[in-house]
Amino acid sequence: MKPTVESSNLTRLSQGQLNILETCPRKFQHIYFDQLGTPISPEQQEHLAWGSRFHLLMQQRELGLPVESIIEEDIQLQQWVTALVNEFPEVFTKDDKTFREPEHCRTFKFKNYLLTVIYDLLIEGEKSAQILDWKTYAQPKNSHWLAKDWQTRLYLYILTETSDYLPEEISMTYWFVKSQPRPQSLTFTYDRRQHEKTQQDLSKLLNQLTGWLQRYESDRIPFPQVPVSANRCLECSFAVRCQRIGETGTNSSQLVPNLADIEEVSL
């Protein structure tokens, strides 16, 4: 999805776009401004399709809508949902003291950007709020890595900024529905210090983006590339285009890079 420029001149950004921007600004340019697609393997396509069906099923279920047509296509889906509900019944028990909404969307204006999040499920109580996110990969990723991911940081940040809850009253839980032998969860709590750090990092990243955008649109100066030493290029589908790997697969990082041509970004 290309970042959308709203009529009010705001650019809409998601957590996924922030992750790519932080990983490598040139990659962000290639995908969202040059609109160069990244190839997806059949396995990845299947995984994405399965994830979409699972999210739809959980949304329908939460809203009390029929799920039969979704389950008919994939009976295993129902087994994962049943395992999840059986393992954590407290999460799925509704009461009239909490507000619950699946696929809850929020936006927040930050500088010239409209930051957008979609919570798989938001549960708001009198004194606390939980963001729930379904993950359809089997094993929990390293929790430190996930804590730094913009999904965790942006989701918590925006809820704090758009509600009356204190940061300490908000948490985010990832549910790894395919973990074996049973589903697992990983919860991140939040506090004022993390909130301020996220604000600073967002401000820095979006100031950089504004500068890169202006230079790209006015003078066609490309966005900076991630340093070769970060070792992110060999896995990237733009490695040949970026001259970080030869057409034949030769790693150009083994050659002396032309530093005059490569404007690197400190991460």
| Contacting residues toward ligand SF4, per CB under 6 A | 24, 26-27, 30, 225-226, 232-233, 236, 238-239, 242, 244
**Minimal distance, residue 148 CB to ligand SF4, in Å:** 18
| Burial class of residue 157, CB neighbours in 10 A (0-12, 13-18, 19+) | buried
Q: What is the spatial distance between Cα 161 and Cα 184, in angstroms, rounded to a whole number?
A: 29
**Minimal distance, residue 264 CB to ligand SF4, in Å:** 9
**Minimal distance, residue 25 CB to ligand SF4, in Å:** 8
Residue 100 or 244 having the CB closest to ligand SF4: 244
Residue 24 or 58 having the CB closest to ligand SF4: 24
Residue 59 or 225 having the CB closest to ligand SF4: 225
Q: Which residues contact 216 (CB under 8 A, 6 or more apart)?
A: 29, 33, 222, 223
From residue 210, how far is each of 5, 29, 63, 215 by CA, in Å? Answer: 13, 12, 40, 9
**Minimal distance, residue 109 CB to ligand SF4, in Å:** 29
Q: Are 195 and 160 in contact (CB under 8 A)?
A: yes
**Minimal distance, residue 234 CB to ligand SF4, in Å:** 8
Nearest to 155, CA basis, from 181, 133, 179, 178: 133
Residue 26 or 153 having the CB closest to ligand SF4: 26
Residue 164 or 261 having the CB closest to ligand SF4: 261
Pull the structure tokens for residue 97: 């003291």
3-state secondary structure of 267: coil
**Minimal distance, residue 241 CB to ligand SF4, in Å:** 7
**Minimal distance, residue 267 CB to ligand SF4, in Å:** 11
Q: Which residues pair with 176 in a beta bridge?
A: 135, 184
259 phi and psi angles, rounded to 5 deg? -65, -25
DSSP-derived letter for residue 32 is I
Residue 159 or 236 having the CB closest to ligand SF4: 236
Residue 24 or 154 having the CB closest to ligand SF4: 24
